[in-house]
Structure 1
Amino acid sequence: MELEYTSGFVTFADILGWKGIWQTNNHKNPVNTLIEIKDTITDSISLMNKRYFEHLLNTELKNHIDNDLKKEMLDYIFRRNLSINESISKTFKSKDDLKKFKVAISSFPVEIKVDLISDTFIITSTSKNQCYEFYMHMLICQRLLLECLKQGLLIRGATSYGEYYNKELVFIGPAIDDSASWHEMGEEIGIFFTPKAMFMINSVDLSKMEIIIGDLNILDIVISGEPNIKVSTFETFLIDWYDGKDYFNGIISKYPTILPEIHKKILYSNSRLDFFKSQRT
């Protein structure tokens, strides 16, 4: 049977020092913590999809629906905890109107999910609209970084773009290989775009991206910079995790010692916080 590949963004992100956490048991219930983080990110995806749909109703789809029906649809989504598709089907009373609206919205849905294999989080997404997918995927990556720091875990990763196949916990394809290979190169906390992903998104002018969902635009999420990696670095996109600074400092302050094999990553990460701060002022 021929596999049906999907095109989209793929992020691999793993926990730094997981072996040490497991062996020394310095972290309470590390496995449960990872599962809690995954559940939190899954909830964030659900909430962000609802906010994204609200954004579409107010912008891209505002000419396809009147205000009274828009309010009714949002009520179904937020108060009754229904999916976007369920909300659409339940609010349109005319099959003809429903059909027209589904045609109008067909190019906007963003499918995104998070999986967990051992200490590695895998975020996959797909959409006909690469601009919105880029925004949503980056926002979820930022949420993952901050949630891991909040839970006392340091995480590094890489985001690629291309074809992939996923069924349950089976992941294959060029985008999978690209992200999996590059995320192991990271020498600091954070998530960066691989060269392949940068080539794909390079034509997008971030300063002109007027996407704002939940009061965050793309410039609150990604910044151009050079990641600290084990090979020659390059200009790419980095996820801004400056809001996790206090969590990061709290984690490092509890280390009984900073061994040579990890001191570089900590120093690089601390310098990255200074870089993020400089970009905000």
Structure 2
Amino acid sequence: MKQSEIIHLAKQEGLLLSEESFKINESGVDFRVAHATDLQGEKWILRIPRQKESMRHAIIEKRALDILSGNVTFQVPRWSIFTDQLIAYQQLDGVPAATIDMEQQVYVWELDEQNPPEEFYRSLGKAMAELHTLDTELLKDAGITIIEGKDMRAAMKERMNRIKQHFDIHPALWERWEKWLANEQIWPAHSGVRHGDLHPGHILINEESAVTGFIDWTEVSVGDVSFDFTAHLQIFGKEGLQKLLDAYGAAGGRTWSGMAAHIEEVKAAGAIVVAEYALVSGLDEMHKMAIQMLGASE
């Protein structure tokens, strides 16, 4: 969709945007994201679905955001426009901790990724703890997926089997997953509200590298909160994960003795998420990525 078409869509909803202010980010799988300023100088974020399937969770995401916005202290988007072709909200304070350079396929950071400031860890741990300990009853009527602690291993086994019906999985990878399922000691006994796609591009920070909010809640659910730590482990390694877990626990996040080990196994099962999306979206590039990931030993 061209810039002029996006501006026209916004105009139809009463939002008049400056053409000169437009900047489009193409890194999202489900949505193009445009940054723009209206005629009064207010900054806006516009999300344009890449395909019809991109909107599969949109109404659920909106319900969840409406609930979260009144129950957490960090910022979340509040959608002013919500149609089949356009989602728009006023830009939140802060900037993404990193954005993806599409040509180089690397993160461009707003902080020192080699040595993230203590304030980043402190504030990220605090925000995640607040989210994960939120009363799940608040979201019971939002339509989001809810998996209780006692059902987590069975739900994961079901997902594994479903993927195995459609893809070849490396025997060593499958064996690792089965050992993980059998190791009840490292699984959490509780569930919590989770973002579901918490990577640096969805974490907003201020000039002091303090976390101000989270964006892009397409995968919000109630379940195993460990999934929200996997991107951090991928980027910052075990040492960075431990720093975050320390900050998380200090802020009231619920931890358990096998948490770090469990997060490592969740990360090793990341191909399941990619394969599931490949099946839902029908995208050839996602299918190829899933085949590659599932064919590796780890």
**TM-score, L = length of structure 2:** 0.29
**TM-score, L = length of structure 1:** 0.30
Q: Which structure features the higher share of helix residues?
A: 1
